[in-house]
Amino acid sequence: MADHLISPHGGDLVDLMTSGERETEIRKASKRWVSWDLTNRQLCDLELLINGGFSPLQGFMNKKDYEAVCSSMHLASGMLWPVPIILDVPEEFAKKIKPGDKLALRDPEGVLIASFDVEDVWKPDRQAEAESVYGTSNKEHPGVSFVLDRTNPWYIGGNIEAVHLPDHHDFLFLRQTPSELRSNFSRFGWRKVVAFQTRNPMHRAHYELTFRAAKEIEANLLIHPVVGMTKPGDIDHYTRVRCYQALLKHYPKDTAMLSLLPLAMRLGGPREALWHAIIRKNHGCTHLIVGRDHAGPGSDSKGEPFYGPYEAQELMKKHEEEIGVKMVPFKLMVYVEDQDSYCPVDEVPEGKKSVNISGTE
């Protein structure tokens, strides 16, 4: 891998895929193991574990790492990691296994994805997890609701060895792994890359924002939308990807790239901003655009926002050096009618009328 690219989180890009004799051994032995059919979120997490998007993780977190992440945003080793990555199972399944066992992790169709070495089996305090990770126990927060109502009550932790990446049947040429993106950056001579995270369609104001951000720091642009699990009610990724493809044509030639990220978002606001930065670092990016209420779920039924508009930017700034990825703050772009152009809200000439376009509506 080219020396000029940013190092992955932890120093090495994890690759949990096996091949040859080892793959054959796992496939043969898996017929004797207890199987677990992965949920959609678990499948998203597993894909990013396998391809190194979640480097330095080697599998689903054990109890020690899980508790350290919840309480301090760091792994037991001391490395920054803000979001628990766990394999949750029902109690009746947990009672059938013990540390030292092997599991066969399968997709919903029964296809073997990976072997799992059980290290820990425990019943977590999910209420405490929600409050630590999301800063609230209010179930109107979709991340909290998922932890408390849709997550199984027992967790199992341990390392994995993969034999097959989860299958996808759409936009395959845009689903680039961290290793593939890094190879492309190296091939094109991209040394500084700013990532734009989104779960929404992009419009003209987003174009102006991303174009200006890349130009100001003299970097290339990676449009890196999430196509795993997002917020309930979001526009489907098929529609969004076509929107991104149409917009990509308007950037100057060879300055921007589109790649899809199979991430299951947690909508964890400030903590999630750090997580997004680490994931983009693993994909070879040096900068991340962090917006107002970045990765937040909005407001509750009383109109109270779950996070302050700049909490994510403040936390990212605090840990910028530790992560090694620099933040590019999201500048609110507005349309100036008299000039028929977009500019940052703080640069609108005095007396000129401007119009703000929502990033989500």
Mean pLDDT by 10 residues, the chain (361 residues): 82 98 98 98 99 99 99 98 99 98 98 99 99 98 98 99 97 97 97 96 88 95 95 90 96 97 97 99 98 92 95 97 95 61 62 59 45
Distance CA 333, CA 304 (A): 24
Closest among 249, 243, 244, 277 to 263, alpha carbons compared: 277
Cα–Cα separations (whole angstroms), residue 186 to 1, 181, 197, 211, 215:
8, 9, 21, 21, 20
Active-site option among 18, 62, 200, 230: 200
* Rounded CA Rg of the chain: 21
* 8 A C-beta contact, residue 290 and residue 313: yes
Question: Partners of 24 in the beta sheet?
Answer: none
Six-digit token string for 295:
């990765």
What domains lie within the chain, and their CATH numbers? Answer: 20-162 (3.10.400.10), 172-330 (3.40.50.620)
The widest CA-to-CA distance across the chain, in whole angstroms, is 74
Q: Look up 177 and say whether it is catalytic.
A: no
Which pLDDT does position 3 carry in this prediction? 59
Residue 56 preceded by cis peptide, ω within 30: yes
Helix (H) / strand (E) element for 143: namely helix 142-145
Distance CA 354, CA 31 (A): 64
The answer to pTM > 0.85 is yes
What angle in degrees, to the nearest 10, is found between the helix axes of 63-72 and 126-134?
40
Q: Look up 199 and say whether it is catalytic.
A: yes
Active-site option among 199, 240, 266, 271: 199
Six-digit token string for 228:
């795993």
Active-site option among 39, 151, 177, 198: 198
Among all chains, which residue has been given the structure tokens 């376009």? 357
Q: Fill in the amino acid letter for 134.
A: Y
Q: Look up 198 and say whether it is catalytic.
A: yes
